[in-house]
Chains A and B, each alone.
Chain A
Amino acid sequence: AGSVESKTEAAMSELVPEPRQKPVVPMKPTGINASLLGYIGIDTIIEQMRKKTMKTGFDFNIMVVGQSGLGKSTLVNTLFKSQVSRKSSGWNREEKIPKTVEIKAIGHVIEEGGVKMKLTVIDTPGFGDQINNENCWEPIEKYINEQYEKFLKEEVNIARKKRIPDTRVHCCLYFISPTGHSLRPLDLEFMKHLSKVVNIIPVIAKADTMTLEEKIEFKQRVRKELEVNGIEFYPQKEFDEDLEDKTENDKIRQESMPFAVVGSDKEYQVNGKRVLGRKTPWGIIEVENLTHCEFALLRDFVIRTHLQDLKEVTHNIHYETYRAKRLNDNGGLPPMTVETEENHESNL
């Protein structure tokens, strides 16, 4: 979209990432401006931006990481109300657990209300499933950096595409096993390494395994552990832009997260309504019922309120950090796909 490119141009002139700016949002005429002689129509810019977004659609790339069987695919399908993630479960699955971590990216175009989203779900089968899981996060970190590299290459081209395809990982859902005890060593290691390169949103998987008290206690424990170990998950404190952001995000960080979720692609009849849920001999667990689990909070957070912010932080912070490091490291530039010698002149 247009706004992304102009910010990029500004950033290109510096080696240090500049603090990100919020796009200008015109306000409704207040008391002071009420004395405007007439209506100008500046506020229609919002509508223009909206129309533009609708026409061009947007990319969103979400990665899921966690041990096999924690319901990652089901959750993503539930989040986007589509079969966007091929369930590796297939209780009839032919494939065994891969011996090393694989990165599998599957793209779908989904549409809602005239808005098109090119959603890519990046799965990481094999993570944490082996007996020896040392460094199993490396392929994941590598993949994430490769996407930054791809974007960087496109950016420094002379003849740049109008819209650089964005394959960068905007959000990484990390699935915590609901043991009720504490995080596992692997959880700590992964999040320590990766929270520096990508937005990590920790979720407690299969939360229907915990009673209300167990859930509260476990969440408190996990939050404490993350804090003690210096792990900054999304939304990161240092990127809160203003008081409004901070207040809203503080509440999310200190009370809601990590979201304890349950996913399902099956519907049942409850009180005359059809709901997504899980049927057990002792009751039906309703996925979108806030007294049962926090799925709806996660969904609203990722999709309805912070989707754009996830992309912005990825672009303005994580990507810029990568870019700065690349430019500083090689005393320069990513190797160019040189067609002519003119390419060199355009580089910084």
Chain B
Amino acid sequence: YTQPVFSCQFSDSAGYVGFANLPNQVHRKSVKKGFEFTLMVVGESGLGKSTLINSLFLTDLYPERYIPGAAEKIERTVQIEASTVEIEERGVKLRLTVVDTPGYGDAINSQDCFKTIIQYMDNQFERYLHDESGLNRRHIIDNRVHCCFYFISPFGHGLKPLDVEFMKALHGKVNIVPVIAKADTLTLKERERLKRRILDEISEHGIRIYQLPDADSDEDEEFKEQTRASIPFAVIGSNQLIEVKGKKIRGRLYPWGVVEVENPEHNDFLKLRTMLVTHMQDLQEVTQDLHYENFRSERLKRTGK
């Protein structure tokens, strides 16, 4: 990490105090500390969640994956599985925890399948509340879920009843980012129609998904608008490298052509990744200021503290 270089003229001019430097100091401290982020992925089996996560973070989070058969799934209930990976890029360290929810939506009767998930969320809030109220607050570990990617099947006509119920139950506890999975199954027209349909249904049911904050003065307003207009993101993931025009890229090879994961004309993968990494801070903030505070005030009201 190199020291920021200040224009010399400032240090001598009268009246200059020097706290304009503060953001840089915060920045430096944060970088030294490293960032922590917890991302939850929810969606029925086979929507490409794991592949997408691996593609997003250019890693293999699930090296020895076992996929159970249908008969086994009949017995299974929803599990919560967290995997943590440390990613470093240009000196910046990210400790990413991905929380998986295998079993979600698999059972014939999925009535209770998100109870486990709600309980998990509440437990993280509870723990944080407890730590926050404790004596030693130096090393509070933040395991709260900062963002939840909810995977919508591209095979339906919009949201399924389970999708609606889940999002209604969790939009007050976590930032929900709806994602249309396996988007290469749709033509462009079908994609647009599906997106519109989903947005209509979200609005119809009063579901509150994560809203991108307005662009700051130094941000590209147009880019932000474009990103906002693409929600829900229609994405494709891939664990395979394919050679296209002499370059090796992540993609899917079909008899009729190659789908490129990082090609914005093929799908919204890049938009999703960019949105996520440029909003990690905001996602954490909203989790803290909105979802956590809601939980906390409800909790404290209940116990009459």
Partner-B contacts on A (CB < 8 A): 67-71, 88-89, 91, 93, 97, 129-134, 177-189, 205-206, 208-209, 211-212, 221, 225, 228-229, 278-286, 289, 291-292
Contact = CB atoms under 8 A, between A and B. Distances in A.
B224 to A, nearest CB: 24
B80 interface: no
Q: A interface, by DSSP: helix, strand, loop or mixed?
A: loop
Nearest to A207: B185
Contacts of B153: 69, 177
Nearest to A280: B187
Nearest to A279: B187
Question: Which of A208, A280, A289 has its CB near the most chain B CB atoms (within 10 A)?
Answer: A280
22 contacts: A67-B156, A68-B157, A69-B157, A91-B157, A91-B193, A131-B110, A131-B111, A132-B110, A133-B108, A177-B155, A181-B45, A182-B68, A184-B45, A186-B108, A209-B182, A229-B71, A280-B187, A280-B256, A281-B266, A282-B266, A283-B254, A283-B257
Given A177-B46, A209-B184, A132 B265 contact: no
Interface string B165-206: 100000000000000001011011000011001000000000
Contacts of B194: 91
Contacts of A88: 157
B188 A185 contact: no
Contact of A292 (B68, B156, B255): B255
Contact of B47 (A69, A130, A179, A229): A179
A275 B73 CA distance: 40
Q: Which 3 A-B pairs have the closest CB atoms?
A: A179-B46, A283-B257, A283-B256
A285 B108 contact: no
A278 B70 contact: no
Contacts of A129: 160-161
A218 B71 CA distance: 16
A285 B182 CA distance: 16
Interface string B237-256: 00000000000000011111
Contacts of A186: 108
